[in-house]
Amino acid sequence: MKPVSYPLVRQFVLSTYMDVFGAAVVVFVCFFKNFHRTIYYQGGIQFDIPIENLLDMIQQGAFPLGIFSMIAAVFSLMATRLTGKQSNWGNFIGLLTTISSGALDYLFGNASAIITYPLTFLIFSVALVRWGRGERIRKRDLYYYLIIIAGLIVGFALVYLGAYLFGGRTDPLFLNVVALTFGLSLGGNFCNAFKYEETWLSWVVYNIVQLAKAVIQFNIANVAKYIFYLFNAALTLFDWRFNGDKVSE
C-alpha cells in the first residue's frame, strides 16, 4: 500500500475487527433491549412479545420487525464501513439495503418513504457506476455546497409531500427530523458518488440527527448503529482528508 501520513487512522478505517465490533454492538443492544421481540401485526407495531409466543405470532402472519431491523442494520453498517475503506462493495450493499431500509422506515411511521427511498436507490446506482470507473477522492468545491443545499431542499419537499399524499405520522417534530435526516442523506450520498472527502462531514452531522430520529421511532437497532456510525464517520473523514486515496503500489 502507498505510505500515508496517519497510518493508525488508516488502520482503524480498514480494520476488520472494527467491522465485527460494530456488528456486535448492534446485535448486543437489540437483544439487551428485547428489540428482537418487536413485531408488526394487524397494521401496528407491538413491542415486547413474549419469546414463547413470538414464533406462533409469526406463523399467524406477524412480521418479525425487530429481527429484520437488526439484520438490516448490520448490513447497512457493513456498507458504510466498506465505503469508508473505499471499496465499491459498500455502494453495492448500500444499494440493496436501501430497499429494506425503506420498508422498515415506512412501517415505523414514515409514509413518505414510498417516494424518498427510490431516489436514494438511484443515487447509490450512480455511485456504483462512478466508483467502478475509478473515481478519486476530491476536495470540496462550489458543486459540493450546491449538492448539500439541494439535498436539504429536496429532502424537506419530498417528506412533506409524502406525508400529505400517504399520511402516516404527521406531527411536526417527527416530520422535521425525518426531512432533515433524509435531506442530509441525499447530499451525503450524492457527494459520496463523486467521492468528496467532506462526504464524511455530512455523515457526522447526519448521524447526530439520525440518533434523534431513531429515538423518536423507538428503533433500538438504529440507536446502536448510529452511535457507532458517528465515531466511524469522524475517523473516516480524517482518513480521507489527510491520507487520501487507498492506492496499491
In the structure grid, which three cell numbers stand for residue 160, read together? Answer: 412533506
So what's the pLDDT on residue 29? 79
pLDDT in tens, 41-72: 888 888 888 888 888 998 888 989 888 888 88
Within a 13 Å sphere around the CA of 35, how many CA atoms are in the beta-carbon half? 25
**DSSP SS3 for 170:** coil
pLDDT in tens, 207-229: 887 787 777 767 776 777 788 88
Q: Which stretches of the chain are DSSP H helices?
A: 7-14, 16-32, 51-59, 65-84, 89-107, 113-132, 142-166, 172-193, 199-217, 220-243
Which pTM was predicted?
0.84
Residue 179 confidence (pLDDT) above 70: yes
List, as one string, the DSSP characters of 89-104.
Answer: HHHHHHHHHHHHHHHH
> What's the rounded Cα separation, in Å, for the pair 208 and 230?
7
Report yes or no: 69 and 35 within 8 Å, Cβ to Cβ.
yes
